[in-house]
Amino acid sequence: MYKSMYMTCQKVWLDRYVVVLISEVSANIEGLIVQFSLSLVGTHIDAVYHTSVVLGGIEYFFGQGIQTSQAGTTHHGNPMEVIDIGHTDLPMELILEYLESLKQIYTAESYDLFMKNCNNFSNDFSMFLVGKGIPDHITSLPQTVLNTPFGQILRPQLDSAMRSITQAPTPTPPAQMGTSSTASDIVTLTSGGSINKASQAKVINATTLQDVSLHLDAARSRCAVILFTSATCPPCKLVHPVYEDLAVEVGDKATLLKVDIDKAYELASEYGITATPTFITFLESQQENRWSGANPSQLRGNVSLLIQAALHPHTKLNVQSLLGVDLRPILFTKLPPLEKLKAKMGNVAEEPIIKSVLAFIAARDSSTNSVVTTVPDLSAFNIFLDESKNLPLENLFPLIDLLRLALVDPRISGFFAELGNFSTIARLLDRINSQSPCPYSLNLVALHMCCNLFSSPIFKRLILQDAVFSSLLVRLLSASFLDDSHSTIRSSAASLAFNIAAANHKLRKEERHQGLPNDETVELLASLFETLGTELIDADTIKQLVAVIGLLVYLAPQDGEIFDLCMAMDAEGLVKEKERITGADQVVKDVGRVLLAKGLSNH
């Protein structure tokens, strides 16, 4: 069995398959529970399960917070069953962001054997990765026990007896299984139990034209270097250590490839290599420079110039206050009296799935039941929402508010994000956008609901990359900014615009690609400039709008419509004029006096 599990994990490492390991919690304790379960609780229990999720050779489980280990090396020993539940194409960065959001839910202090255990975590994580959870007979077992009189009586004793096992420390640090020719993600735990990714860039060995093409294409928005070398070339050995050090120093600013021409004749012929070492540099996939010789100073100098050419001129501007803005999303988490919300729903509140969602929200926000976190049937909730999109507006409002409250939980926002084209929420937004004018209460709760979509890292990425959905958001924002009767609408719209701009800024800055489609960015900026030009907004809203403008303009394509719009609408003068209202706010000064004054000067 263990050999089979190990082979499965090797498959996981290579192919991004996701497996669930099912183990016995403890052979001794489990034996007693199984033996006496019928007489004590009136129900026969076959086993007491511990589950974990394996991805990329790393085993993820919940005990002392979210923990990780090399697959198959935890204190729970060999698994009794291995379930291959599917394949994920989600990028590792996104998965780690999601786990980071879950650490606020799955803390060591919140562990509860019956209501919040390893199986709840495995179910949530697998739902996120592949859209389906672990077997129902595992997740339902605690409630089966609690539904019996003796189960309730024995609950404290069982919870206490199992603590030393379920919350034992991780025996070994996480490690990778298998090898890869590319820089790999290594998952570690900080002392506080959070999950971080440590990536150490390294030279990528390429042997085929396809290898080189793929890596150059991946680096098309920045730069790359290819070193052509040979095992029989003594000068090459002098530059190998320098080249390896450079890869670590430049990190993700450049991709460094190495080709051994003794093993890659086709590549040597394609690039006309007649001597080694030879270096070729690429800027945005186009050949930029070429030289031969083992001169470390020349190598370092040329790579430095290459990276400078690849970097956007905005990186040379002193806008530290703008770049220091807290990019965490603005969420609207205030809980209204649930009885009043139910009353507004009318008969809808009696639907089983609505009762379940209301109970989940009440339990989640109750200090006495803070450990209850099992999410309701999200598939049923999605179907109900989709069927309710044409409800009368007075009935649609409380349903959108219920969705707003549910989306605060990243597990729920992550679920809706993974639905194709955000179909359900997109149809709800389309209905709301079709109202002219949109009723105040519906408009406000729609803005708050959209802000809460950003509780999940997967939504933050996918929102920006889906032209249809991002267009729906910008339409909602544009109409909301035009509302000159309600300051709360404009303020809430500014919050949603900030969430969009912050997510887009992170993509540009960290991954060097445009997230929000260009047309939507231009339309959003035009609405922001128009709103900023009115006298109807207060100082705090002005500060937020200027920060949004700054985040949308910073690192924007230099030859695109964004710069043209800024010039045409005199964005510099518009922002500078608002300094008299915002006083000495440094972000406003950074955007007006530096970014818009100097960052557009070469356009």
Catalytic residue positions, numbered:
50, 118
The one-letter amino acid at 285? S
DSSP 590: I
Residues 323 and 591: their CA atoms lie apart, in Å, by 10
DSSP 508: I
Residues in Cβ contact with 535 at an 8 Å cutoff, skipping those fewer than 6 apart: none
Residues 373 and 137: their CA atoms lie apart, in Å, by 18
Residue 339, burial from CB neighbour count under 10 angstroms (0-12, 13-18, 19+)? exposed
Q: How far is CA 93 from CA 90, 97, 389, 419, 450, in A?
A: 8, 6, 34, 20, 23
The gap from C-alpha 317 to its chain's centroid, in whole angstroms, comes to 28
Would you put residue 86 in left (φ > 0), alpha (ψ -120 to 50) or beta? left
Residue ranges of alpha helices (H) inside 271-409 are: 296-310, 320-323, 338-345, 352-364, 378-387, 393-407
* Nearest CA-CA partner of 490 in 542, 418, 417, 422: 542
Q: How far is CA 510 from CA 93, 200, 219, in A?
A: 11, 15, 13
Residues 460 and 526: their CA atoms lie apart, in Å, by 22
What would the two tokens of residue 375 be? 């999410």
Query: 198 with 230: CB under 8 angstroms?
Result: no
Q: How far is CA 263 from CA 204, 256, 528, in A?
A: 15, 18, 56
Q: How far is CA 547 from CA 268, 391, 539, 595, in A?
A: 50, 37, 12, 11
Query: 464 with 470: CB under 8 angstroms?
Result: yes
Residues 499 and 5: their CA atoms lie apart, in Å, by 42
Residues 521 and 474: their CA atoms lie apart, in Å, by 9
Residues in Cβ contact with 559 at an 8 Å cutoff, skipping those fewer than 6 apart: none
Rounded to 5°, angle at Cα 488 from 484 and 490: 55
Residues 12 and 472: their CA atoms lie apart, in Å, by 37
Would you list the DSSP string of 212-266?
HHHHHHHTTTSEEEEEEE-TT-HHHHHHHHHHHHHHHHHGGGEEEEEEETTT-HH
Tell me the residue length of the chain: 603
Residue linked to tokens 């922002």? 575
What would the two tokens of residue 97 be? 């962001």
Query: 255 with 219: CB under 8 angstroms?
Result: yes
Pairing of strands 65-70, 58-63: antiparallel
What would the two tokens of residue 587 be? 């972000």
Residues in Cβ contact with 137 at an 8 Å cutoff, skipping those fewer than 6 apart: none
